[in-house]
């Protein structure tokens, strides 16, 4: 069973979001744990959650993916930013647990000029703090980044070393993104090399989600601009090779392409035609 959906809003509740995803042809989706700029979170509505869970069960939905706001930065040089990120993340995990959502995707962080070594150390300290009280059956997914600015986590080595330094915690996973991989310098026409590298540094058992995006910029640009499927540097053949890869397709596929709901529906229909 392949799980495929798009990033959509849960502003009108979880049940409405499940309906929206179904209208697009999806059987999962991604949403922000709270406002992407990191404001306060809406109170959870238990009835809405139960209705949503029932609808997802009836329609064979896969696991949903929550994405944390871009304002979180475990590698910040400012203590208050790091503490804010930790406080919010711990709260987000309680919320997704209540919703029955297993995954929270996190950008590892940006070191802001402190250097990668110090940045990675700060991220490890933050991760350990969150993992110490992570609820059962939830996973923190480190996202592989394009490496723009002072972003960390753009190599398999970074991701692997973060996991190792967190004592290979079983609730740490990874989310890859075809646009970010391209920006970071991984040539997706040579998928075998990338997979070999990933297996060596991280391991496919940790790959839980995959952001399916085309890339405006070419391999190694260190830039992160998503394009619609087939309208970027990757093209449909590469997208297809990801979809049909037996290891990569075990992850939940999420579209984060610059689309409205109709556009997402078209891309989901396109992928389903291939199957």
Dist CA 138 CA 85 (whole Å): 18
C-beta of residue 31 within 8 angstroms of C-beta of residue 66? yes
- DSSP for 205-238, please give it: GGEEEEEE-EESS-TT-----EE-TTSSSSHHHH
**Judged by CB, which is closer to Zn ion: 48, or 143?**
143
Count of residues that bind Zn ion according to CB under 5 A? 1
Six-digit token string for 224 = 């992160």
- Residue 36 or 113: the one with the smaller Cβ distance to Zn ion is 36
Residue nearest to Zn ion (CB): 143
> Under the criterion CB under 5 A, does residue 92 sit at the interface with Zn ion?
no
Q: What is the nearest approach in angstroms of Zn ion to the Cβ of residue 44?
A: 23
Smallest separation, CB 211 to Zn ion (Å): 7
Per CB under 5 A, the list member of 48, 92, 143, 267 interacting with Zn ion is 143
For Zn ion, give the closer residue by CB, 48 or 159.
159
User: Smallest distance, Å, CB 145 to Zn ion?
Assistant: 8
Alpha carbon distances (Å) from 178 to 116, 190, 220: 23, 13, 12
3-state helix, strand, coil in the chain (%, to 5): 45, 15, 40
The interface region with Zn ion, picked from 28-36, 82-90, 137-145, 225-233 by CB under 5 A, is: 137-145
Give the Cβ contact number of residue 211 at 10 Å: 26
Q: Which chain residues interact with Zn ion by CB under 5 A?
A: 143
């Amino acid at each position: 069973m392949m799980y495929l959906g798009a990033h959509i809003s849960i502003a009108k509740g979880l049940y409405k979001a499940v309906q929206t995803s179904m209208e697009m042809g999806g059987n999962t989706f991604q949403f922000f744990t709270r406002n992407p700029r990191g404001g306060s979170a809406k109170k959870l509505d238990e009835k809405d959650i139960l209705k949503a869970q029932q609808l997802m069960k009836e329609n064979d939905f896969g696991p949903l993916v929550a994405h944390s706001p871009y304002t979180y930065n475990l590698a910040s040089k400012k203590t208050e930013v790091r503490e804010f990120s930790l406080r919010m993340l711990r709260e987000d995990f309680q919320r997704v647990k209540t919703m029955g959502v297993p995954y929270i995707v996190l950008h590892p962080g940006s070191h802001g000029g402190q250097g990668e070594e110090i940045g990675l150390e700060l991220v490890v300290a933050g991760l350990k703090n969150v993992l110490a009280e992570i609820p059962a059956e939830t996973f923190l997914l480190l996202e592989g980044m394009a490496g723009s600015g002072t972003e960390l986590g753009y190599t398999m080595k970074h991701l692997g070393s973060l996991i190792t330094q967190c004592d290979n915690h079983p609730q740490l996973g990874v989310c890859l993104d075809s646009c970010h991989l391209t920006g970071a310098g991984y040539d997706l026409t040579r998928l075998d090399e990338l997979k070999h590298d990933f297996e060596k540094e991280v391991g496919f058992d940790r790959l839980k989600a995959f952001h399916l995006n085309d890339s405006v910029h070419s391999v190694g640009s260190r830039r992160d601009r998503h394009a619609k499927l087939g309208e970027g540097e990757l093209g449909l053949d590469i997208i297809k090779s990801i979809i049909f890869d037996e290891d990569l397709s075990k992850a939940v596929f999420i579209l984060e392409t610059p689309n409205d709901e109709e556009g997402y529906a078209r891309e989901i229909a396109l992928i389903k035609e291939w199957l």
